[in-house]
């Protein structure tokens, strides 16, 4: 079976800094893959390049067999890759419902003229958008529904903002979800809940998920496969157990033990 996402030799350079130095990466449909690595390893740049925020310098990004490298972010989202951001970036002054409604932009078509004349098609589509937004928010239990629909996003708690970000990504109806540190800043209970949620994203919604994560407990619980980046290159790949006992990985995280010829 063909890979959902296949990346070959992806590089990205910022001036003299080599953020990504030829990364190879592959995701099969239905997988949950974690990307880990120390700070500054290039994880977020990796996501930004896949989602089109940065054009890659070289390399191929094959999504469902066609190259999406160099496309605009909105085109990539349309193809079916959605993402969240490490430093939660909602539309703070739009309501919770509007945040999710606006994310359906690329799956809907009615432009200015239908809106002006409120054609039956326009009304139907608006109703559908609203309905789907409620449905997506309902996925998070009672946390984002009811009176929360009409609250501005800035009024949400930190954990709820992270949830809303995931809801917004789901609303673009993607095939592949890129979650950038979905549990950062959450307390242990919320982290646990979020971990379960990531599992449910696959089992109930059928998404393929790539997660950047720092919390090793989360990584162990959710991932089928773990990819380790350091200094913009892949240094290890495999199951959590394989990776966590890998020499290079331990070195990347903890540093090289001081030896006589080292230092």
Contacting residues toward other proteins, per CB under 8 A: 51-53, 72-74, 77-78, 82-83, 85, 89-94, 98, 101-103, 105-108, 110-112, 115-116, 118, 122, 125-126, 129, 151-152, 154-155, 168, 172
Residue 224: CB minimum distance to other proteins, A: 26
Residue with Cβ nearer other proteins (211 or 243): 211
Residue with Cβ nearer other proteins (172 or 191): 172
Residue 115: CB minimum distance to other proteins, A: 4
Q: Angle at CA 208, nearest 5°, toward 148 and 230?
A: 100
Of 10, 9, 3, 91, residue with least CA distance to 51 = 10
Residue 251: CB minimum distance to other proteins, A: 34
| Cα 98 from Cα 144, distance rounded (Å) | 12
Residue with Cβ nearer other proteins (26 or 105): 105
Sheet with 233-238: strands ordered across: 81-83, 176-180, 208-212, 32-36, 225-230, 233-238
Residue with Cβ nearer other proteins (54 or 253): 54
Q: 75 and 55 in contact (C-beta within 8 Å)?
A: no
Residue with Cβ nearer other proteins (94 or 250): 94
| Cα 191 from Cα 182, distance rounded (Å) | 9
DSSP class of 258: P
Residue with Cβ nearer other proteins (102 or 250): 102
Residue 198: CB minimum distance to other proteins, A: 20
Residue with Cβ nearer other proteins (16 or 120): 120
Residue 91: CB minimum distance to other proteins, A: 4
Q: 222 and 208 in contact (C-beta within 8 Å)?
A: no
Query: End-to-end alpha-carbon separation of the chain, Å?
Result: 47
Burial grade of 226 (CB within 10 A; 0-12, 13-18, 19 or more): buried
DSSP class of 121: H
Q: What is the distance, to the nearest Å, from the Cα of residue 240 to the centroid of all Cα atoms in its chain?
A: 20
| Cα 101 from Cα 75, distance rounded (Å) | 18
Residue 117: CB minimum distance to other proteins, A: 8
Residue 93: CB minimum distance to other proteins, A: 5
DSSP class of 257: P
């Amino acid at each position: 079976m063909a890979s959902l996402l296949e990346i070959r030799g992806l590089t990205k350079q910022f001036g003299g800094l080599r953020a990504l130095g030829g990364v190879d990466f592959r995701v099969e449909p239905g997988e949950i893959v974690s990307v880990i690595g120390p700070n500054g390893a290039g994880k977020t740049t990796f996501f930004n390049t896949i989602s089109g925020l940065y054009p890659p310098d070289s390399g191929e990004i094959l999504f469902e067999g066609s190259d999406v490298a160099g496309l605009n972010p909105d085109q990539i989202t349309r193809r079916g890759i959605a993402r969240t951001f490490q430093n939660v970036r909602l539309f703070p002054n739009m309501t919770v419902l509007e945040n999710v409604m606006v994310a359906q932009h690329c799956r809907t078509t009615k432009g200015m003229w239908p809106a002006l004349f409120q054609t039956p098609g326009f009304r139907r589509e608006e109703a559908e958008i609203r309905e789907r937004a409620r449905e997506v928010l309902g996925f998070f239990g009672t946390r984002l529904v009811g009176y929360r629909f009409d609250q501005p996003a800035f009024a949400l708690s930190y954990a709820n903002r992270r949830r809303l970000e995931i809801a917004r990504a789901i609303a673009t109806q993607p095939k592949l979800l890129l979650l950038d540190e979905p549990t950062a800043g959450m307390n242990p209970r919320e982290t646990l809940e979020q971990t379960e949620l990531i599992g449910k994203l696959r089992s109930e919604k059928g998404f393929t998920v790539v997660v950047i994560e720092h919390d090793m407990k989360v990584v162990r619980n959710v991932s089928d496969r773990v990819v380790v980046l350091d200094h913009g290159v892949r240094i290890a790949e495999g199951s959590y157990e394989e990776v966590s006992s890998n020499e290079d990985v331990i070195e990347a995280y903890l540093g090289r033990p001081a030896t006589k010829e080292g230092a």
